[in-house]
Amino acid sequence: MLPGIDAIAFSTSKYFLNLEMLAEHRNVTYAKYYSGIGQTRMSVFPPNEDIVTVGIEAARKAMVFVEDKNDVDILIFATESSFDLSKSAGIYVHNFLKLKEDCRVFDLKQACYSATAALQLAKSYVMENPRSKVLVVGSDIIRYPPGSSGEPTQGGAAVAFVVSQNPRILGIEPYFGVHTYDIMDFWRPAYLNEALFDGKLSAYNYLKSTDICVERYFKNSNLEISDINHACFHAPFGKMAIKANNQSLKCESIDQTLIYNSIIGNSCSASLFICFISLLDHLKSDLTGNRIGFFSYGSGSVAEFFSGIVSADYRKMMSTADNQAMISDRFEISFPEYELISGNALHDFDRYKNIGSVTLAGIDHNKRDYRTVSL
């Protein structure tokens, strides 16, 4: 049996901005957003939610499927939205999940690629330690300067998955195609809250990396395009994934992979895996034994194409109704409120609802105060 993903879940903010509102206030035709870039809403994070609180919520949902949490020997927190350059965000998750003390915890960074790096590291670890499990949390919130071309692609979410030797969702195959190339297409200096980017260059390098990685994957695996049943592409915005699919694999199910991302926005490290959840939640046919291709792209840049085989038990491991309820139960915020939140002008931590049971109650002496709340 191939090692891989044994449980998977995601979480996002309780609040969203309708991109129709953004289009109106930015004097852009809404069709450019929903048709041109493939996005209709974006998750907006109030002051009481951050990469840790949504990360805990996603991890809590994935861990429901783990019989003995003491089997988790490593927790990897993959993010490019760190608020602390020293302490790992994963330690807060470890604490609220009450994982055992002899568990390694660390953060991993390489733009949107980091959760894929974590998956590959975790896979190697469980192959050497068959009784162990590794919990990976990919959590990001992305902000662009107001009025910039990146603004309608903002968003955020966390994914959590458990990697084990006998996965009930997806076995990861040993084939891959990797491409690393030094380029300034998207970056965020430690002293800035908003990303800097060259949008056209980033889209160009994403597509070029797709070609290179897919070609290397087929060379390494001796497989052919027809051997890939479905594919998930990192989705900074839906149209980017569609373009990459059109120029490479031409899989028919691409729309089903983008349903959650089109209303969450870019969730960076979580995005590729939320595409996978979206596919499993929305494709009606039985995927057992199907080969899924995955294209991961992290600006800067590292890209990888890899594949996995869907396990027979995958349907029992999905929380489709909960995922859909989480999305449909979100609250729409007004444009002025969006501006307040994104301008960091509001520090009213108690005013907003949480998506899960942990809130950021405040920041005191530069220490983040996370607390359990009743829902």
The contact set with ligand CAA (CB under 6 A) reads 29, 31-32, 35-37, 112, 149-150, 153, 185-186, 197, 199-200, 202-203, 206, 234, 236-237, 240, 266, 268, 297, 299
Q: Which is nearer to ligand CAA, 206 or 305 (CB)?
A: 206
The answer to whether 234 is a known catalytic residue is yes
Q: State the burial class of residue 375 (Cβ atoms within 10 Å of its Cβ: 0-12, 13-18, 19+).
A: exposed
CB-nearest residue to ligand CAA: 36
Q: Which is nearer to ligand CAA, 146 or 199 (CB)?
A: 199
DSSP SS3 for 28: coil
Rg of the chain's alpha carbons, rounded to an integer?
A: 19
Task: Pick the catalytic residue from 49, 57, 94, 112.
Answer: 112
Contact 344, 281 (CB under 8 A): no
Closest CA to 75 of 101, 50, 113, 54: 101
C-beta of 174: minimal distance to ligand CAA in Å?
Answer: 26
The string of DSSP letters for 42-101 reads: EEE--TT--HHHHHHHHHHHHHTT-S-GGGEEEEEEE-S--S-SSS-THHHHHHHTT--S
Quote the tokens at residue 32: 């450019």
The answer to whether 80 is a known catalytic residue is yes
Task: Pick the catalytic residue from 80, 151, 173, 304.
Answer: 80
Q: Which is nearer to ligand CAA, 4 or 156 (CB)?
A: 156
Burial 218-230 (b: 16+ CB within 10 A, else e): beebebeeeebbb
Quote the tokens at residue 159: 């994914």
Helix axis angle, 19-26 to 335-342, nearest 10°: 80
Task: Pick the catalytic residue from 213, 230, 234, 304.
Answer: 234
Q: Which is nearer to ligand CAA, 178 or 317 (CB)?
A: 178
DSSP SS3 for 345: coil
C-beta of 371: minimal distance to ligand CAA in Å?
Answer: 31
The answer to whether 215 is a known catalytic residue is no
C-beta of 222: minimal distance to ligand CAA in Å?
Answer: 29
- The residue written with tokens 């990396």 in the block is 209
- The residue written with tokens 């852009």 in the block is 28
DSSP code of 152?
G
C-beta of 153: minimal distance to ligand CAA in Å?
Answer: 5
Q: State the burial class of residue 244 (Cβ atoms within 10 Å of its Cβ: 0-12, 13-18, 19+).
A: buried
Q: Which is nearer to ligand CAA, 199 or 362 (CB)?
A: 199
Q: Which is nearer to ligand CAA, 149 or 193 (CB)?
A: 149
C-beta of 128: minimal distance to ligand CAA in Å?
Answer: 32
Q: Which is nearer to ligand CAA, 164 or 245 (CB)?
A: 245
C-beta of 38: minimal distance to ligand CAA in Å?
Answer: 9
Q: Which residues are catalytic?
A: 80, 112, 234
